[in-house]
Structure 1
Amino acid sequence: MAVGARVVVGVSGSPASLAALRVAVEEARGAGRVLVAVIAWEPPEGEGLYARRPDRAWAGHWESEARGRLDRAFDDVFAGAPLGVVVERWVVRGSAGRAVCDLAESAEDLVVLGRGRGWGRARRYVQGRAGCRVMVVPGPVVPRGVRRALRKVRAEDFSPLCS
């Protein structure tokens, strides 16, 4: 292993990206590498429209939202910071695929991405352009009927006082 080789993981908050985060931490811990967790964001209206009417407060809001999703991902998977691994958290403005490729700068790095309902375009971009190994982790499989039922769940369904 080359000195400075890292494990770069793309995080979006989706179940597949949480599975990738879990695997990436194990890979980093086992190899003694630094874990680089990256979440990318773009203005919801797109960069073209944002350029016409830039609003730093609006951009700051979306950057803060992305940072919160990255922090929640670590909280959901590890209840905070994972033990036994050095973690760098990056919030990058731009496309997800490009952000991951830019951070995986060494041929000795390892990129870990989740395969699920998100990251499809980013995953294809990274697999086609990364100058290092890419590991794709499948997300949890939720049967279609269960997904449909979960969309109809309300907060009151979990409250013991409403029974």
Structure 2
Amino acid sequence: MTRPGNRVVAGVSGSLGSLTALHRAAAEARATGAALWTVLAWEPPGGNIVHRGGPCPAPMAAWRNMAAERLVEALETAFGAAGPEVPLEPRIVLGKPGTALLMVADHPEDLLVIGAGARGPLRRALWPSVSRYCLARARCPVLAVPRSPLHRTLHAVHRRNTWKLPFRTDELTGRS
């Protein structure tokens, strides 16, 4: 177990933005000699309120296992078999993402690293921002990492695939 203040806490969802933030968190942990705590928040389908009256243990255990698998998959996607090359403490927390992150990053000496999230008024209206929630309420420093420059390119490729448009590799390299 590491001392408080000697850890970097990173929110993980498996999205490209969270993987970018995860890489930055690992770099911060290496630079400071800190442990990397990864947090994946999860809730039962329908939200936690549905299951408060008497959650059935079997489905709750299955959903928790699915969250654990998602965290392992995200860590493997980000770091491969080599891992982050710093002490790693994976956490799966039942709750909303912002609340779960602040529950783990609860010491003033911690560093919370999160993806900056989607931008634009429509996206903010439809999906609450975990990064804004954490920035407003955290008791420790928060590093909001912007999206990877590749995000726009990958989104364009995905859009082409969805609409079954022809794919040209020279678009990825910037040559026409």
Question: Does the alignment reach a TM-score above 0.5?
Answer: yes
Q: Which residue of 2 aligns with 1:105?
A: 106
1:78-132 residue CA offsets vs partner (Å, 9 max, x unmatched): 1135253101000000111111111112111110001234985221211111111
Count of matched residue positions in the alignment of Structure 1 and Structure 2? 151
CA contact (8 A) 1:16 1:139 kept: yes
Q: Distance in 1 between matches of 2:46 and 2:35?
A: 34
Q: Residues 17-36 of structure 1 correspond to what in structure 2 (within 5 A)?
A: 17-36=18-37
1:41-89 residue CA offsets vs partner (Å, 9 max, x unmatched): 0011111222245221111111111111111111111113525310100
Q: Distance in 1 between matches of 2:93 and 2:9?
A: 13
Q: RMSD value over aligned CA atoms? A: 2.1
Q: Which amino acid in structure 1 is aligned with residue 8 of structure 2?
A: V
Alignment TM-score, normalising by the size of structure 2:
0.77
Alignment TM-score, normalising by the size of structure 1:
0.83
Q: Which residue of 1 aligns with 2:173?
A: none
Q: Residues 65-144 of structure 1 correspond to what in structure 2 (within 5 A)?
A: 65-80=66-81, 82-117=83-118, 120-140=128-148, 141-143=151-153
1:151 aligns with 2:162: yes
> For structure 2, which runs of at least 5 residues remain unmatched after alignment?
165-176
CA contact (8 A) 2:117 2:129 kept: no
> For structure 1, which runs of at least 5 residues remain unmatched after alignment?
154-163
CA contact (8 A) 1:111 1:132 kept: yes
Q: Which residue of 1 aligns with 2:167?
A: none
Percent pairwise identity: 38
Q: Distance in 2 between matches of 1:84 and 1:46?
A: 35
